[in-house]
Every structure is written in C-alpha cells, then in structure tokens.
Structure 1
Amino acid sequence: MTRAIVLLSGGMDSLVTAACAVSECDEVCFLHFNYGQLTEKKELSSFEALVNYYQPIQAKVINYSWLSEIGGSALTDRNIPVQKGILSSSKIPVTYVPFRNAIFLCSAVAWAEVIQATRIYIGAVEEDSSGYPDCREVFFQAFNKVIATGTKGEIPIEISTPVLHKSKAEIVQLGIELKAPFELSWSCYTENDVACGVCESCLLRKKAFKTAGVEDPLPYRN
C-alpha cells in the first residue's frame, strides 16, 4: 500500500499534483501552511474545499506565522510591493519566500515518519514558472539525500514532483485529464475575493489556460 503526503496550497500546481497523488497512491494525506501570506484566508478556504472534494484520510494545517515576522518577501511583507502587469524579468522575483519549500518539506518528512508515508508530493514547477531557487530539480535531489541521512530509515521517503518539468499549459491539460476541480483552486498573490488578474501568478495562470485552449473557471477583476 502506498501512502503519500501532499503539500497543498490550494493553487493550480498543487491541485494538479494532488490529483496525481490521488490517482497514483492508495492513501493520501493533505498538508497546508498558513504563513502570513497576503491570501492566507483564501488559500485556506481553497484547501478546505479540496479536502472536502478529495476526502484524504488525514488533513492538517500548520501555522508558520514567523515567516511573515521575518518578512523578506512580497507575499509576507506589506512593505514590499507585488509586481503587477508584467511577468518578472529578474532571476528571483520579490515573491520568493526565503527557503519556504525546505521549511514545508521538513514538516512533511516528520509527519511521514510518524504515519509511514513513503511519498511527499509537492507542486513545484521549474520549467515555466517564476524562477524560485527552491523549485529546481537539483534542490529536490539534494533534499532527498537529507531525508535519507536525517531520518530513522525505517521506511523509504522520497519527494515526488510530478509537474516539475511541465509548462503551465501542460499542467492545465494534465489537470483536465485527471478531472481536477480548477474552480476550487486559487492563484492570485494579493486578493482574497476576486483574483486581481494582473499579478505574476494570475498572468501565468491566464496564459496557461489560454495556451491549453481551456476556459479558466475563475473570474478576474482585470
């Protein structure tokens, strides 16, 4: 029996990753993080809706409010503006949250040891995304080594990144194939009611659906 933990933010990429886990594993558990992000309320609402949709055997929410306390990201620090109207031209955008994926994965690994889960799914995208350093294949390869050397070793625990090398449009297409409920997901960086339509995440999502030839079920302010 394959048991997996899915890091589920409620965004498009993590939704399709969850759909992959559900199709590939016998049992899934969902893990969500509140960390003082601008859209914390909406992301949590999306997570709860997806828990209701997929009915995982367990679902947990972890609060990492100190990520907003240290700041350093436009997603958690109100003094750093979120870029709007353009896709980032810099290597690492202002929306990068310092070492976020490593922090989240540590929690998932700890839980995996307790519940005997052998896979940890994360919806990181390297090929057609924002250029975050903790969304690269080399990062996950290194983290798998950390898991192997830093856990009891009673069970093999590996990170699974099913959308890592897919374009955003390919992620949409895969989601359609897996009947992922895109209407329950949330991609906007700044709004908790109606998506702004102009932040980088909204722009990437809109472009993905357009390229895939699929109608995005979410409305946008712009």
Structure 2
Amino acid sequence: MNEQNKKALCVMSGGMDSTLSAYMMKNSGYEIIALHFNYNQRTQKKELECFHKICEDLDVKEKYILDLDFFAQIGASALTDKSIEVPIGGIEEGVPVTYVPFRNGIFLSMAAAVAEKEGANVISIGVVEEDSSGYPDCRESYINSMEQSINLGTKDETNIEIKMPLVHLKKSQIVQKSLELNVPLSLTWSCYKNEDKACGVCDSCRLRLNGFKLAGVSDPIDYE
C-alpha cells in the first residue's frame, strides 16, 4: 500500500483512551476516518459533542455516526438501562454492571464494514486491559481473535489490522502520553452518569481522576 494512502478507521467515543489512540494513528502518518456510535448510553449527547470537537481538532475529513437503538432494548447494563443505577462505591470485583453486553464485538463488526468500504487497512480501538474496569471485550486476546474473524469474513483483498495501542498502559501513562502528544484532554468525557459536570464517583471518573493524580497533573474538565 502506498504510504500516502494509509487510512485508519478510528472508533472514537469522545473519551480519553480512544481519543489518544486516534492521535497516535495520526502521528503515525494515517489519514483518520472517525467512527462514533450512539447506543442510547446515558451520556450520549455529551459524548457526541466531544466527538465532533475532537474531530475538528484532528482535522478529520470523513466521519461516521451510527445509531444503534437496539442496545436500549437489550438493556442489562447501567449505561443503557436507566432502571439500573450506575455504581458509585468504587471498583468492584468481577464484571461490573456498567458492562454493555458484547459492545466492542458489535462495534468492531460495524467498524469492519466501514473500513472495508473506505479501503482502510487499520481499525484503531482504545481498549485498555490492565487498568480498565474488567470488561471482557477489552482483552487483547479477544481483539486479536476479532481481527482474525474480520479478515476471514471480508473480501480476499481486504486485510485489516486492529491496532490497540493502549492495551497494556495504565491510566496515568495514558494521561502522560496524551500530554506528550498535545491531545486536548479538556475535550474528552469519561463520566458514566452526567453530561454537564462529571460525577467524580463512578468507576470511569475514579479511574480517570486517579490517572491524573498519579501523573501529577490536574484534570481540565469540571467535576461536581
């Protein structure tokens, strides 16, 4: 493939991890195609707003926003079912109630369709295995198996690599790397509960705040 035509389809939630992954792809010389999912999550409006602002900063020419309303119908997650409370008591053992059943598998399947259409040779996803909330669909072994399945199920000439540059990083390292690359962390959102000021007590806020604390810098977003 011509070096000038390298395209990376970046799955971007508006959060820190997927945003850093996209900036890393751009720094590696890829043209960024941005992909965002609205799946009836609690902070859908805020995440979409962040996605647009990040794409503007990245100078993204091509972006896709896909609406997946069936996640609300499936439910079974505090992110998509308003009757299930988002836990605020700290990280729990096992798979938390904020896990959305097979979300990354569904996202990657749809990303594969867009990547094949666009002729992208890379899909970038910001999964973090070591310092995440314990989601099974963030494991490196799982993402590798999805890469294999995607290549088995697409045209012979389609060859897609799934890059997960953050999979072995801790949140503090993600903060440090973001600062090194001038990633606009003020445009990112991590809170599971709120869309105006971050709650500071859900799993995602706790992981984020702890990452900033260990990195020795303050988080630029507003908290309650």
Q: What is the SS of the residue equivalent to 2:42?
A: coil
Contact 2:42/2:192, CA 8 A, preserved across alignment: yes
Q: What's the TM-score, normalizing by structure 2?
A: 0.96
Number of aligned residue pairs: 220
- Equivalent residue, structure 1, for 2:157: 154
In structure 2, stretches of 5+ residues that fail to align are: none
Q: Which amino acid aligns with 2:126?
A: G
**C-alpha separation between the residues in 1 aligned to 2:176 and 2:113?**
33
Structure 1 moving runs of 4+ over 3 Å: none
Given candidates 78, 99, 102, the residue that maps to 1:99 is 102
Contact 2:128/2:167, CA 8 A, preserved across alignment: yes
Q: Which amino acid aligns with 1:213?
A: G
TM-superposition CA deviations, 1:87-124 (whole Å, max 9, x none):
2x221000000000010111111111111100000000
Is residue 60 of structure 1 aligned with residue 60 of structure 2? no
Is residue 132 of structure 1 aligned with residue 140 of structure 2? no
Contact 2:38/2:44, CA 8 A, preserved across alignment: yes
Contact 1:6/1:121, CA 8 A, preserved across alignment: yes
Contact 1:124/1:135, CA 8 A, preserved across alignment: yes
Contact 2:123/2:163, CA 8 A, preserved across alignment: yes
Q: What is the SS of the residue equivalent to 1:203?
A: helix
Is residue 15 of structure 1 aligned with residue 22 of structure 2? no
Q: What is the SS of the residue equivalent to 2:35?
A: strand
Give the Å deviation of 1:127: 0.5
- Coordinate RMSD, CA, aligned: 0.9
**C-alpha separation between the residues in 1 aligned to 2:29 and 2:142?**
24
Give the Å deviation of 1:22: 1.1
**C-alpha separation between the residues in 2 aligned to 1:114 and 1:25?**
20
**Identical-residue share of aligned pairs (%):** 47
Q: Which amino acid aligns with 2:206?
A: L
**C-alpha separation between the residues in 2 aligned to 1:25 and 1:106?**
24
In structure 1, stretches of 5+ residues that fail to align are: none
Q: What's the TM-score, normalizing by structure 1?
A: 0.97
- Equivalent residue, structure 2, for 1:51: 55
Contact 1:102/1:134, CA 8 A, preserved across alignment: yes
Q: Which amino acid aligns with 1:98?
A: P
TM-superposition CA deviations, 1:115-171 (whole Å, max 9, x none):
110000000000001010000011011111101210102131010000000000001
Equivalence map 1:1-222=2 (5 Å): 1-87=5-91, 89-221=92-224
